[in-house]
Structure 1
Amino acid sequence: MRALACLLIVAPVLAWAEDIPVTSRVADVTLYPQGGTVIREAGFAAPEGSHRLILTDLPVSVPLSSVRVSVEGAQLNDIALRDDYVPPRTAEETAALQAARAEVARLEAALRDAEAGVEAIRLEEEAAVARVAFLDQLGTSRALAGMDPAALRDLVTMIGQEGLAARQAALEARQRADAADRGLTDLRDDLEEARAALRALVPQDAARAMLAVAITADAETQGVVRVAYTVPDAGWQPAYDFRLDRDAARLSIARGAFLQQSTGENWQDVALTLSTSRPSEQTAPSEIWPWLRRVFDPDQMQPKTLSRGAEASFDSAAPQAEALAAPAPAMVTQAAPEFDGLSVRYVYPGTVSVASGADRVRVDLGLIERPADPIARAVPLLDDRAFLMAGFTNDPREVILPTDEARFYLGERFVGQRPIAMIPAGAEAELSFGPIDGLRLTRMIPSREEGGRGVFTASNALEETIRIEVENLTAEPWPLRVLDRVPYSEQQELEIEWTAAPRPAGQDVDGKRGVLEWRFTLEPAATQEIVLDYTLEWPEGKLLR
């Protein structure tokens, strides 16, 4: 190390005249649900001629193969990257970081002093306990056997008095120590908060990578070098507030996003773009391979094997992110979504700051309003009350992404939080806004018969009657959608017949065979009854499953 330092000192000054050290900062970030693209910027001033711009502040975790560089103000020649033997850089600490470290040190010293005081009181308790132990041992000594009664009485009195005093001293010391320790709660809380504040600042003293950018200037110039690269340890999670206005039949969707990153450096006042694109996932269609089938004699059956093509399809490499083009400056105009038919981009109108490994920042992405169709859905087979649903058609330029951060409101009343699946642009969807306690559901089986039937043909049969009641205990009429089911068969041997009164409005609802649907409006204090009968018949000797 000393030899390297000496070499750097005695190197000709002219050799270093062509190298221009520059300091870069994260200026623009595009986040995907998993991963992101970071653009760093660094200004420079260079005389006429060929030079190298030396950046030594790239995080060492940057995948060097993803780095793309552009230069304004000079001609870009070539770039060199390395993550070892990087020249040292001056450690920079902000005033906030220095103050946070000083506060942690102050509180740690204060806590040490206070805990030392508590320990001193504990020592008083231990000394008193030791006195008690000595007096107890003295009272059982064999030397007492030869003492005259008066001396023995005086000794016993002394042991009792001193023992009582020692026990009282131990108790008092314990109480003072416990009280003093409880008094340190606020100090410990302050220290933990100070440590959390220090962690949030994330001292950026980790190892760095170096980037050397060769440029040529026709004349003295001032310019900007931009470096773009992908990072895996960052991303955003959608957050939605769905609010239903029943009276206006409108659904408002407040869009938001939670940001996080663990790149090893803080992002301070960076321009932000959020994209629904997912380059870390599959980016190309799967390959299909020929399917060879053979027949064998039963005694020549061989284990099933995969063709080489099929084996290759199961051992494919993980999809890689697409290469980045040279970055261009981004112009932030508005927070409206930009939809290109494949993904949606949100350009945040301001800047954000996200500490590495510490912050979980929420940003707002605006509001969408859509017409909604409120209706009560009843599933008597599984529920004892109906639920308020809102059907709507998603904005044709908006993709609602799957997330666990979806909160539901009925007017101003919070209903609950639960995950939602993806709703593509322009797709129809239905969301639930909680139970309607006044719409009570009852499902009974008053009649069930099972046994054989037939005169010339032996068979088994099952007959069942289901009675469903929907009761409206509210003071308003409700449009209802009631769902139930009857069994279905794919065997000619199993015959199924059913009837329903009233007749259902739909069968095989949403492509689910045997699922029935009734639609009606139920007035206040009214009850709607649905009777469903079905019969199953199958040959004797067969079992019903």
Structure 2
Amino acid sequence: MHRHFAAICFFPAVALTPVAGLADVIRLDSRITDVTVYPEGAKITRVAEYSLPAGDHQLRVLDLPETAMLDMVRAKVEGARMGSVTVREDFVPPRGEQDSDAIKAARAEVERAEDALRTKQDEAAALRLAREAADTRIGFLKQLGQGDALDGVSADTLRDIARMVGEETLAARQAVLEAEAKARDVDRDIADLKKALERARQALAALQTGGGEYNLVEVSVSAEAAADGVLTVTYFTPVAGWSAVNDAFLTLGDKPGLRLDRGAMVWQGSGENWQGVALTLSTSEPSGQFEPSEVHPWRRRIEDEFQPLLKRSMDMAGAEAPMAAPSVMVEEARVQSYHGLIFNYAYPKPVSVASEADAVRIALGELTFDPTIKAVAAPLWDRTAFLTAEFTNGSGELLLPTQATQLFLEGEYVGSLATGQVAAGAETVLPFGAIDGLQVSRAVTRNEGDTGILSKSNEETEVARIEVENLTGRAWPLQVLDRVPYSEQDDLTITWQARPTPSVTDVDDKKGVLAWDFDIAPGATRQIELSHRIQWPQDKVLR
């Protein structure tokens, strides 16, 4: 965060302190109206209406959060002549009461719940005292008659005392039982009140997102007559962003179709809530690379071949030592960035995003494509083929990379995967799950060892037999992928053959990767035989 400026003044006035020292200060409450969110960061626009008499004044706004990058604050005034703009992050005056009616009501509910809980806890304490008093009475009554306290007392008096002790003991025990019964009810009430208090606190916390430290912006203005106007302040925060999230729906039938429902997840932790703002998502990346990298000079030099240290010392004896050449950094770290046309997506309805709390998904519209359906099998690793849909991005727009594109086949969810960027006019492929009825198998026979007792070379051969069986009720265009080893050494000789001949070799420029393309009818079986031979010298080891 660029928070290294205590006071910054921007065009049209250049100064480090307010020039209107005697001007009156007019405190304004601003509100966020527009937010443009980039993949990293956001530009925020706040507006505040004002009324002022003739003369010089300072318009003060205390609403910018501490995450605002102060060197990127810009101000515009309508209705008066603007002077200097001052920003401050330290020694900011208090903002005063800023709570909304909803927060005030939620705080009042927390206080009510706290009072109710305290009242019930006091009731529980009183019941505990009553029980303790009853237990004390019972203890006292038990002690009557012990010792010499009743010596010489007449029988009638003893009967009266015994009756009194019994009655009082019974009353005390009944008091204990009543206190315990009430205490159980009060304990249940206390548990319910604690839950109610926790819910009230959670409701208040949900409304109190944001609310961190704030910065000050003061704009000096002057007016020849009383005026009404609008102050607009824009600034940038790095603590926000958005990413694309898509849902892809594939339908088969007589004519396959692919629908891409595009969306975006928006988050922010700026320290202030965005309430009912006009939201625009931009593919521009101001936090990324926006200028070409520099190409540095590349100096080469030659030196004498390595010599033993003693000989070098003798050759250089008496010679002037050369100065060391400065080193030049040839390679530098790069930040990956997508550049080209910038697309802005303006959402048609107001959007609210709470700071450090909400992740909001918004729709960016849907696109439809005419896909080419293909089953792809890799028998080296898998036992079934997988359904894929290849299509050309004819939308005229850039399909953005996603962390999660959810895949649906005939409306049923089949999985989720991250997808890369797809330029307009480019081709791409999406997978849509296994085709369980399109089964593949691969059996391997391998032989390795010397070609002969007196041979100076080693040899390894391998034969792979691949079989594909279609147990589904429809025909499939199928691509089978496999591989043979390759060599870049003259002494390592590799030959291979396949029946039938592969449709493509070195698929996607991957050496030794082969592909067979064919249609397979329902109930049909197809075989592929792939073999290779490797030969290398006797004194070498195959890796």
Cα shift at 1:184: 7.6
CA contact (8 A) 1:60 1:209 kept: yes
Q: Which residue of 1 aligns with 2:276?
A: 269
Partner of 1:81: 87
| Alignment partners' CA distance in 1, 2:505 and 2:193 | 68
| Aligned with residue 482 of structure 2, among 481, 484, 493 | 484
* Conserved 8 A contact 1:260-1:357: yes
1:375 paired residue number:
374
Cα distance in 1, alignment partners of residues 360 and 389 from structure 2: 30
Question: Which structure 2 residues correspond to residues 116-127 of structure 1 after superposition, within 5 A?
Answer: none
Mapped pair 1:495 → 2:493: yes
1:389-404 correspondence runs (5 A) = 389-395=388-394, 397-404=396-403
Q: Residues 459 and 536 of structure 2 are in contact (CA less than 8 Å); yes or no, is this contact kept in structure 1? A: yes
Structure 1 Cα separation of the partners of residues 379 and 281 of structure 2: 43
- The whole-number CA distance in structure 1 between the counterparts of 2:376 and 2:191 is 53
Checking the alignment, whether the CA contact within 8 Å between 2:209 and 2:354 is kept in structure 1 is: no
After superposition, where does 1:89-488 map in structure 2 within 5 Å? 89-108=95-114, 190-202=196-208, 205-247=211-253, 248-293=255-300, 294-295=302-303, 296-297=305-306, 299=308, 308-310=327-329, 313=332, 341-395=340-394, 397-445=396-444, 447-453=445-451, 458-488=456-486
Shift of 1:256: 1.1
Structure 2 residue identity aligned to 1:367:
E
Q: Specify the alignment match of 2:320 in structure 1.
A: none
Which stretch of structure 1 is more off in the superposition, 466-475 or 18-27?
18-27
Aligned amino acid, residue 412 of structure 2 = R
Q: Is 2:24–2:57's contact at 8 Å kept on the other side of the alignment?
A: yes
Deviation at 1:212, TM superposition (A): 1.3
Give the whole-Å Cα distance in 2 for the aligned partners of 1:473 and 1:94.
65
Distance between the aligned counterparts of 2:491 and 2:509, measured in 1? 24
Q: Are residues 380 and 191 of structure 1, via their aligned partners in 2, closer, same or farther at CA, if it must alter by over 3 Å?
A: farther
Distance 2:129 2:432 in 1: 62
Q: Would you say the 8 A contact 1:22–1:42 is kept in 2?
A: yes
Q: Which amino acid aligns with 1:485?
A: R
Contact 1:465 / 1:531 at 8 angstroms: preserved in 2?
Answer: yes
8 Å contact from structure 1 (residues 200, 359) kept in 2: no
Partner of 1:147: none
SS at match of 1:405: strand
Question: 2:57 maps to what in 1?
Answer: 51
Aligned equivalents of 1:119, 1:444: Cα separation in 2? 81
Q: Describe the superposition over 1:375-395 as per-residue Cα deviations: whole angstroms up to 9, x where unpaired.
A: 111011111111111111124
Cα shift at 1:202: 1.8
- The 1:263–1:527 alpha-carbon spacing in structure 2 relative to 1, beyond 3 Å, is same
Aligned to 1:475, the other structure's residue is in SS state: coil
**What is the alpha-carbon distance in structure 1 between the residues aligned to residue 230 and residue 464 of structure 2?**
77
Is residue 209–residue 355 contact of structure 2 (8 Å, CA) maintained in 1? no
Q: 1:462 to 1:342 in 2, by over 3 A?
A: same
Q: Does 1:31 align with 2:64?
A: no
Which letter maps to 1:429? T
Q: Which residue of 2 aligns with 1:529?
A: 527
The alignment partner of 1:419 has SS state of strand
Cα contact 2:296–2:330 (8 A) shared by 1: no
Instruction: Using structure 2 for the length normalisation, give the TM-score.
Output: 0.76
Give me the whole-angstrom Cα distance separating, in 2, the residues matched to 1:504 and 1:49. 86
CA shift at 1:495, angstroms?
Answer: 1.0
Q: Which has the larger radius of gyration?
A: 2
Could you tell me which runs of 5 or more consecutive residues in structure 1 were left unpaired when the two chains were aligned. Answer: 1-13, 127-168, 322-338
Of stretches 220-229 and 231-240 in structure 1, the one that deviates more from structure 2 is: 220-229
Question: Which segment is superposed worse, 367-376 or 399-408?
Answer: 399-408
Counterpart residue identity of residue 506, structure 1: V
How far does the alpha carbon of each residue in 1:450-490 deviate from its partner, in whole angstroms, 9 at most, with x for none?
A: 12226986211111100111111111111111111000111
SS of residue matched to 2:403: coil
Q: How far apart are 1:492 and its partner, in Å?
A: 1.1
Tell me the TM-score normalised to structure 1 length. 0.76
Letter in 1 for 2:28: V
Contact 2:496-2:533 at 8 Å conserved across structures = yes
State the AA in 1 paired with 2:279: L
- Given candidates 515, 518, 521, the residue that maps to 1:520 is 518
Q: CA–CA distance in 2 between the matches of 1:439 and 1:71?
A: 69
| 1:101 aligned counterpart, secondary structure | helix
Shift of 1:114: 6.9
Q: How far 1:280 moved relative to its partner?
A: 1.9
Q: How far, CA to CA, are the matches of 1:420 and 1:191 in structure 2? A: 45
CA contact (8 A) 1:202 1:356 kept: no
Stretch moving more, 394-403 or 248-257: 394-403
Give the drift of 1:243: 0.7
State the distance in 1 between where 2:76 and 2:394 align.
37
Q: 5+ residue gaps in structure 2?
A: 1-19, 133-175, 313-323
Q: What CA distance in whole angstroms lies between the structure 2 residues aligned with 1:123 and 1:489?
A: 92
Partner SS, residue 383 of structure 1? coil
**Residue type at the aligned position of 1:449:** N
In 2, distance between residues paired with 1:382 and 1:125? Answer: 76
Q: What is the SS of the residue equivalent to 2:350?
A: strand
Count of residue pairs brought into register by the alignment: 464
Partner letter of residue 273 of structure 2? N
Task: After superposing the two structures, state which structure 1 stretch, 483-492 or 388-397, moved more.
Answer: 388-397
Q: Aligned partners of 2:406 and 2:491: how far apart in 1? A: 49
